[in-house]
C-alpha cells in the first residue's frame, strides 16, 4: 500500500475515493495518462473511420472516380452542413484546432468547453469527407485534449496536471495517427511548451504507448505514409539538403502569408454563411481542375514516395507522363493550389488542420526539387527522389509549424530507421532558422502571440501569460469625487480608509487622478481650509495607468519597472476599477511560478 500523498477534492464517487486512498500524485497522473492515451487512440480511429466512410459513401474512394457532374459541389455541401451543425445544434463557434487548445491553457486554466469533446469528431470528417482540403490531426488533438480536461475536471486535478494531460492527449493523438510514439511526445513538448522533466516525461511516454497500442489493435502495423529507404546518406549531397532547407523556408513563409491573408480576407465578410458559400465555390472550382488537393492528400504523397506519377492521369491538363518537366510543373501547381485550398477550407468555416497539408506540400517541393536536379544532370549519380521527398516534408513542417524536432523524429520514425537523420537535421534546422527570422511565431501561435495569450518555453513569459490580472486587482480604496473639498476628503476618505492613496473620479466614474495621504497630511487638521481647498488643488496624475482592455501581464510588469511605483490605478473604458500593488503582483507571480514548476 502506497503512502497517501494526493487527496482529490471531489469524493462523490467511489472511483475517485478509491484512487485517492492509495495513489500518490505522480502515480495517479501516470494512471490517468494511460487512460488519456487510450481515449486519444480511440478518437483518432473514430475520426479516420468516419471520414473514410463519408468518402466511400459519396464516391467509392478516390475523388477522381466521382462523376464530374457532382463531385465538385461536394465541398460546398460539406461546409454548409458544418455551418448548420455549429449554428443550430451546437449554437457555438467550434474554433480552429491547436490555437483553441493553446488558448485554453493560457486563458482558461487548462479547461476546454464541454462541446469540444465531440464537435470536431463530427465536423472534421464532414469537412474532409465532402472534399475539404485539410488534415485530421488538429481535430484529433483538440477532441483528445478536451476529453482529457473533462477527465481532469472529474478528478479535480490541478492546473499543472491538466496542462500536462493536454500534452499527453496531443502526444497520444499524433502517436496513434502516425504510429510514431517519439514524434508524438516531442510534438507535445514543442507545440504546447511543456517542461521536459522526468515528472512530465513518464506520463507523456505512457500516453503515447497506450495510444499507439490502440492504433495497432484497429489498424495493425499499417501506417499512413509508406516508404522504404534504399540509398544511404552521402556527404556529397549535403549542399543539396542545405539548398532544400532554403527552399522549404521560402515556401513556409509563403504558405503562412497565404494562410493569414486568407483568414483576414474572409473575416471581412460580414455574414458567416456568405463565407461558407464563397469558400465552398472557390474550393469546388479548385477541386474540379486539380482533384489531387482533395482531403488530406496522403494517397498522392504515397504515390510520390513510390515514384509513381500515375495520379497525373486524372488531370486533363497534365497527362504526358513521359515528360519530366511536365511532372515538375504539375507538382508546383499542386503546391500553389494546396496552399490556397487549405487556407480557404479552414478560413471559410471548415474544421480541419494544416498538418497533413504541410506534409503534402513539403513532399511536392522535395520531390520536384530532386527531379529538377536530376533533370539538369548536376550530380554524377542521380539523387534519391524518395529521400528528398521525405526531407522536404520535414523542412516545410519545421518552417510552418516551428517544430523542427517533431519534423525530424516523425520522418525518421515513419521510415523505420535513422539513416536520414543527418539530412533531416540539416534541412529542418535551416528551414526553421530562416523562417523564424521573418515569422517569429508559427501559424498555430501567431494570433495568440499578438494578443499576449501565448505560453512559451520561456518560463518567465509563461508565468506572466498564465497569471490572471483580475486576481491581483484590489478595490478596497476609498474613491473621491473631483468636486469634493478638503473637509469631505477627510470625512469621506481619510477617516474611512486604511490606505494612503485615494483615486479620484468624476460623476461618470471616469478616472481623473490620485491624492496621496502625504499631500494632505500637513493641512488635514486645519478646519479653516476645509471649504477652501478642493480636490483639484491636491490631485496629481498617476505615474501610469493600467488599462484592462489593452494591458497584458508583461505590460503591467514593465509599467512598474519603468515608473518605480508601488501602486498603479486600473481602468476599463477609462472608468476606475481598482489598484494593483507591486507587492501583491510579485506574490502572485511567485505563487504561479511554484504551480507551473511542480
Kindly report, residue by residue over 390-425, the tens digit of the pLDDT: 999 999 999 999 999 999 999 988 876 677 889 999
Look at 72-86, 433-447, 448-462 and tell me which has the smallest mean pLDDT: 448-462
pLDDT of residue 570: 94
The edge-to-edge listing of strands for the beta sheet with 511-516 is: 480-481, 501-505, 511-516
pLDDT of residue 239: 95
Look at 239-243, 269-273, 403-407, 587-591 and tell me which has the smallest mean pLDDT: 587-591
231 is written with which cell numbers?
540509398
Q: What is the DSSP string of 6-60?
A: ---S--SSHHHHHHHHH--HHHHHHHHHHHHHHHHHHHHHHHHHHHHHHHHHHHS
d(CA 143, CA 361): 25
d(CA 261, CA 497): 54
Cα–Cα distances in angstroms (integers) from residue 286 to residues 7, 135, 298, 357, in the given order: 57, 17, 18, 15
The rounded percent of the chain whose pLDDT value lies above 70 is 86
Confidence of residue 7 (pLDDT cuts 50, 70, 90): very low
Confidence of residue 327 (pLDDT cuts 50, 70, 90): confident
SS (H, E, C) 228-260: CCCCCCCHHHHHHHHHHHHHHHHHHHHHHHHHH
pLDDT digits (tens, 9 = 90+) for 549-558: 888 888 888 8
pLDDT of residue 314: 59
| pLDDT for 70 beyond 50 | yes
Confidence of residue 455 (pLDDT cuts 50, 70, 90): low
| pLDDT for 386 beyond 60 | yes
Q: Decide: 210 and 34 in contact? Cβ < 8 Å.
A: yes
pLDDT digits (tens, 9 = 90+) for 530-547: 888 888 889 999 999 999
pLDDT of residue 453: 54
pLDDT of residue 131: 86
Pick from 181, 148, 127: nearest CA to 342: 127
pTM given for the model: 0.80
pLDDT of residue 270: 86
pLDDT digits (tens, 9 = 90+) for 132-182: 999 999 999 999 999 999 998 888 788 888 889 999 999 999 999 998 899
Pick from 134, 88, 79, 141: nearest CA to 112: 141
pLDDT of residue 370: 94
Q: Decide: 248 and 395 in contact? Cβ < 8 Å.
A: yes
Look at 105-114, 239-248, 428-437, 511-520 and tell me which has the smallest mean pLDDT: 105-114
- Between 209 and 96, the higher pLDDT residue: 209
Give the domains, in start order, of the chain with CATH numbers.
22-219 (1.10.3080.10), 235-462 (1.10.3080.10), 465-597 (3.10.580.10)
Query: What is the average pLDDT value for the chain, to the nearest integer?
Result: 84
Q: Decide: 569 and 579 in contact? Cβ < 8 Å.
A: yes
Look at 278-282, 294-298, 591-595 and tell me which has the smallest mean pLDDT: 591-595
Amino acid at each position: 500500500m502506497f503512502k497517501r500523498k494526493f487527496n482529490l477534492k471531489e469524493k462523490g464517487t467511489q472511483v475517485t475515493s478509491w484512487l485517492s486512498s492509495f495513489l500518490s500524485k505522480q502515480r495517479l497522473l501516470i494512471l490517468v495518462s494511460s487512460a488519456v492515451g487510450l481515449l486519444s487512440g480511440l478518437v483518432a480511429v473514430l475520426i479516420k473511420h468516419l471520414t473514410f466512410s463519408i468518402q466511400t459513401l459519396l464516391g467509392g474512394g478516390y475523388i477522381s472516380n466521382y462523376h464530374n457532374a457532382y463531385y465538385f459541389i461536394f465541398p460546398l455541401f460539406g461546409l454548409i452542413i458544418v455551418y448548420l451543425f455549429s449554428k443550430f445544434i451546437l449554437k457555438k463557434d467550434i474554433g480552429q484546432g491547436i490555437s483553441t487548445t493553446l488558448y485554453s491553457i493560457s486563458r482558461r486554466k487548462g479547461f476546454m468547453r464541454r462541446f469540444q469533446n465531440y464537435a470536431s469528431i463530427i465536423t472534421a470528417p464532414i469537412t474532409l469527407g465532402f472534399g475539404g482540403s485539410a488534415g485530421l490531426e488538429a481535430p484529433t488533438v483538440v477532441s483528445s485534449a478536451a476529453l482529457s480536461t473533462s477527465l481532469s475536471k472529474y478528478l479535480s486535478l490541478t492546473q499543472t496536471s491538466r496542462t500536462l494531460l493536454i500534452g499527453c492527449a496531443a502526444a497520444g493523438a499524433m502517436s496513434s495517427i502516425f504510429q510514431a510514439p517519439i514524434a508524438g511526445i516531442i510534438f507535445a513538448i514543442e507545440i504546447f511548451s511543456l517542461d521536459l522533466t522526468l515528472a512530465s516525461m513518464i506520463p507523456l511516454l505512457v500516453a503515447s504507448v497506450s495510444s499507439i497500442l490502440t492504433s495497432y489493435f484497429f489498424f495493425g502495423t499499417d501506417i499512413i505514409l509508406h516508404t522504404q529507404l534504399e540509398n544511404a546518406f552521402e556527404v556529397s549531397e549535403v549542399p543539396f539538403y542545405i539548398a532544400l532547407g532554403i527552399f522549404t523556408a521560402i515556401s513556409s513563409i509563403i504558405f503562412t502569408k497565404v494562410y493569414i491573408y486568407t483568414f483576414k480576407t474572409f473575416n471581412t465578410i460580414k455574414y458567416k454563411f456568405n463565407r461558407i458559400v464563397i469558400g465552398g465555390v472557390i474550393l469546388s472550382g479548385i477541386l474540379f481542375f486539380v482533384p489531387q488537393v482533395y482531403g488530406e492528400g496522403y494517397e498522392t504523397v504515397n504515390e510520390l514516395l513510390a515514384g509513381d506519377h500515375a495520379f497525373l492521369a486524372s488531370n486533363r491538363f497534365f497527362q504526358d507522363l513521359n515528360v519530366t518537366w511536365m511532372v515538375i510543373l504539375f507538382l508546383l501547381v499542386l503546391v500553389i493550389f494546396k496552399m490556397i485550398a487549405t487556407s480557404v477550407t479552414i478560413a471559410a468555416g471548415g474544421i480541419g488542420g494544416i498538418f497533413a497539408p504541410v506534409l503534402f506540400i513539403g513532399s511536392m517541393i522535395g520531390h520536384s526539387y530532386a527531379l529538377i536536379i536530376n533533370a539538369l544532370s548536376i550530380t554524377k549519380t542521380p539523387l534519391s527522389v524518395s529521400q528528398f521527398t521525405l526531407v522536404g516534408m520535414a523542412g516545410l513542417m519545421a518552417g510552418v509549424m516551428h517544430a523542427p524536432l517533431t519534423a525530424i523524429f516523425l520522418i525518421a520514425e515513419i521510415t523505420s530507421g535513422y539513416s536520414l537523420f543527418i539530412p533531416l537535421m540539416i534541412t529542418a534546422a535551416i528551414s526553421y532558422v530562416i523562417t523564424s527570422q521573418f515569422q517569429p511565431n508559427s501559424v498555430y501561435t501567431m494570433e495568440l502571440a499578438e494578443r499576449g495569450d501565448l505560453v512559451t518555453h520561456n518560463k518567465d513569459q509563461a508565468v506572466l501569460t498564465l497569471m490572471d490580472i483580475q486576481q491581483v486587482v484590489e478595490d478596497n480604496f476609498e474613491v473621491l469625487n473631483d468636486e469634493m473639498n478638503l473637509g469631505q476628503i477627510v470625512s469621506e476618505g481619510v477617516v474611512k480608509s486604511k490606505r494612503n492613496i485615494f483615486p479620484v473620479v468624476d460623476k461618470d466614474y471616469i478616472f481623473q487622478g490620485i491624492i496621496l495621504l502625504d499631500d494632505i497630511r500637513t493641512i488635514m487638521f486645519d478646519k479653516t481650509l476645509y471649504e477652501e481647498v478642493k480636490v483639484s488643488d491636491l490631485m496629481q496624475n498617476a505615474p501610469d495607468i493600467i488599462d484592462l482592455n489593452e494591458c497584458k501581464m508583461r505590460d503591467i510588469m514593465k509599467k512598474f519597472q519603468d515608473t518605480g511605483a508601488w501602486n498603479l490605478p486600473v481602468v476599463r473604458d477609462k472608468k476606475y476599477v481598482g489598484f494593483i500593488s507591486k507587492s501583491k503582483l510579485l506574490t502572485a507571480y511567485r505563487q504561479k511560478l511554484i504551480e507551473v514548476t511542480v
